[in-house]
Amino acid sequence: MNITVLKFGGTSMNDHQTWKKVLEIIKNYEYPVVVVSATARTTRQLIEAGKAAASQDMERADQIVKDIKHRHQKLVDHFLEENPHQKNALIKESCYKKIDEKISYLSKMLQYASKKKELPAALQDSIAAVGEQISSYLLAQCGLATDQLTQHIEAKKLIKTDAEYGGANPNRALINQKCGSIETILDSGFTPIIGGFYGEAPDGTTTTLGFEGSDYTASLIGGAVHAKAIEIWTDVSGIYTCDPRFVSEAQPINELSYFDATEMAYFGAKVLHPATLKPAQERNIPVFVKNMFEADAPGTRIVRESHSQKEVLAISFKQSMTLVTVCAYETVMGYSFLTKVFDALEKLRIPVDAVNTTEASVTIALQSSDTLTELSQALIEVGTVHIEPQKGLISLIGCNLHAANQLTATVFQSLGELPIDMITFTKEKRILSVVVDENHTIEATKLLHRSVFG
């Protein structure tokens, strides 16, 4: 069975016109399995409503809920108006009923957050997942108005995870087992429509897979059903040499390896969830990143090995970074010093983006977060701690090892008088990282892109 898993993001789910495009794309596949995000802006609105409720601003929370409800009702209305069908009255009734059901559930969770005056991670996950729960059901119902046999599948029946709310770890063995039902649905002539981003903890509560987690859902399902391909449909024609929203000269990349695409995602490229490619890589399933507005464009193909001869494949960047420098006390020099520093990072589960070390000091670039105060307190036992917030991290990914020295020179020449706080090169990962002031990040990225890619 030639199964293709198709994932459509928030832009693809934006309005009734993009829904029509999604359904037209699906028609071109023999055995499509469809994973969808929430409609554009919905997840952010849901989290905003949760935070508003927890801070006792129920007026704001209720207004957001009304907006979400009315937007989805209008979307259904417009879709059915433009796609007349004898079943439309029943479809509309079913869609409105689902919207009411989910909005009622959402309101109860927000009232609970208001009562408790807090938004614990488990509750935030339950609130954030409502967007995909609504969008996947509505799209499946609207598909019937175009005479497609689209069938909604509740994602919690398939995506089983641990209870690490906000970034849950999937139970791959259980997912593989549960996804066996998908082939039965396809055999019956139906197209499954599944909400991405969320799953179910062992106790039945809702979990989420992290930002852009719908990509991860698609890859997990693709691996489970031994798909022939996984396609991520977005609003750009593949992965670019840099974010085209900020660097107008950015160019699409025809082909990437799983490794380089994962590194790009981790170091700030917004196209894929960093964990997306692992299930595909294990099964050697090609992943395509395509543009739903230019469906015939080739996009980017991600495979096990890519044979690029370029000095650099791409440049990505992250803002809201912090530099933490620890200088060892004389009593904790050498290997014990570094061990204690990284033990503190591990205990607080803080990921590190770039590191520069000597025997007596270490400088770490990491994402700014509320845990920095705890980290500082933990590190004061091993040395003096200096924290510099408001930094930006620029990463040159897929560097040609033979050109590393020249690239370092290029960085300094390109950035001219812009101050550089740290520069590191990781040979194994082929990544050259540069830390600058946050307000110089975009400017520095543009200068580097111009120098490297012309």
Instruction: State residue 199's pLDDT score.
Output: 98
Domain-ending residue, one of 254, 269, 303: 303
Give, for 17, the enclosing helix (H) or strand (E): helix 16-26
Q: Which of 216-230, 236-250, 265-279, 377-391 has the lowest mean pLDDT?
A: 265-279
* 384 bridge partner residues: 327
Q: With a cut of 70, say whether residue 334 has pLDDT above it.
A: no
Instruction: State residue 405's pLDDT score.
Output: 80
Mean pLDDT confidence for 264-276? 77
Instruction: State residue 90's pLDDT score.
Output: 98
Rounded to the nearest 10 degrees, how much is the dihedral formed by the CA atoms of 328, 334, 337, 341? 110
What is the per-residue burial (b if ≥16 Cβ within 10 Å, else e) of 69-104?
bebbbebbeebbeebeeeebeebbebbbebbeebbe
The CB-based long-range contact list for 338-344 (8 Å cut-off, 24+ gap) reads 338/362, 340/381, 340/382, 341/379, 341/382, 344/375, 344/378, 344/379, 344/382
Domain-ending residue, one of 303, 334, 366: 303
Judgement on whether residues 297 and 352 belong to the same structural domain of the protein: no
Instruction: Name, in order, each residue with C-beta under 8 angstroms of 105's C-beta and a sequence gap of 6 or more.
Output: 130
Instruction: State residue 338's pLDDT score.
Output: 86
Is 309 within a domain? no
Judgement on whether residues 258 and 320 belong to the same structural domain of the protein: no
Judgement on whether residues 291 and 341 belong to the same structural domain of the protein: no
Q: Three-class SS of residue 312?
A: coil
Place of tokens 């008088």: 417
Strand order in the sheet with 191-195: 150-153, 191-195, 31-36, 3-8, 229-234, 287-291, 300-303, 255-257
Instruction: State residue 157's pLDDT score.
Output: 97
Judgement on whether residues 325 and 401 belong to the same structural domain of the protein: yes
Is 308 within a domain? no
Residues 301 and 306: their CA atoms lie apart, in Å, by 10
Per-residue confidence band for 168, with pLDDT thresholds at 50, 70 and 90: very high
Instruction: State residue 265's pLDDT score.
Output: 81
Is 206 within a domain? yes
Instruction: State residue 273's pLDDT score.
Output: 74
pLDDT digits (tens, 9 = 90+) for 271-295: 777 788 899 999 999 999 999 999 9
| Residue 55 belongs to domain with CATH number | 3.40.1160.10
Judgement on whether residues 298 and 321 belong to the same structural domain of the protein: no
Cβ–Cβ < 8 Å for 367, 356? no
Q: With a cut of 80, say whether residue 359 has pLDDT above it.
A: no
More confident residue, 95 or 260: 95
Mean pLDDT confidence for 412-427? 91
Judgement on whether residues 329 and 298 belong to the same structural domain of the protein: no
Q: With a cut of 90, say whether residue 107 has pLDDT above it.
A: yes
Judgement on whether residues 168 and 72 belong to the same structural domain of the protein: yes
Is 385 within a domain? yes
Per-residue confidence band for 333, with pLDDT thresholds at 50, 70 and 90: low
Mean pLDDT confidence for 131-139? 98
Is 72 within a domain? yes
Instruction: State residue 284's pLDDT score.
Output: 95
Instruction: State residue 173's pLDDT score.
Output: 97
Strands 431-437 and 420-426: antiparallel
C-alpha closest to that of 325 among 349, 348, 341, 347: 341
**Tokens standing for residue 73:** 């009702």
Instruction: State residue 10's pLDDT score.
Output: 87
When divided into structural domains, the chain yields a total of 2
Cβ–Cβ < 8 Å for 226, 286? no
Is 49 within a domain? yes
Strands 198-200 and 206-208: antiparallel
Judgement on whether residues 291 and 319 belong to the same structural domain of the protein: no
Judgement on whether residues 60 and 203 belong to the same structural domain of the protein: yes
C-alpha closest to that of 236 among 252, 260, 217: 252
Is 66 within a domain? yes
Judgement on whether residues 44 and 126 belong to the same structural domain of the protein: yes
Domain range for 351:
314-453
Q: Could you give the percent of the chain with pLDDT greater than 90?
A: 79
What is the per-residue burial (b if ≥16 Cβ within 10 Å, else e) of 155-176?
bbebbbbeebbebbebbeebbb
Domain-ending residue, one of 264, 282, 303: 303
Q: With a cut of 80, say whether residue 308 has pLDDT above it.
A: no
> What is the pTM assigned to this prediction?
0.88
Instruction: State residue 360's pLDDT score.
Output: 86
Judgement on whether residues 326 and 346 belong to the same structural domain of the protein: yes
Mean pLDDT confidence for 167-187? 96
24 CA to centre of own chain = 25
Instruction: State residue 332's pLDDT score.
Output: 66
Q: DSSP character for 168? A: P
Q: Which of 6-20, 115-129, 188-202, 322-336 has the lowest mean pLDDT?
A: 322-336
Judgement on whether residues 242 and 390 belong to the same structural domain of the protein: no
Mean pLDDT confidence for 349-362? 89
pLDDT digits (tens, 9 = 90+) for 44-94: 999 999 999 999 999 999 999 999 999 999 999 999 999 999 999 999 999
Mean pLDDT confidence for 378-383? 91
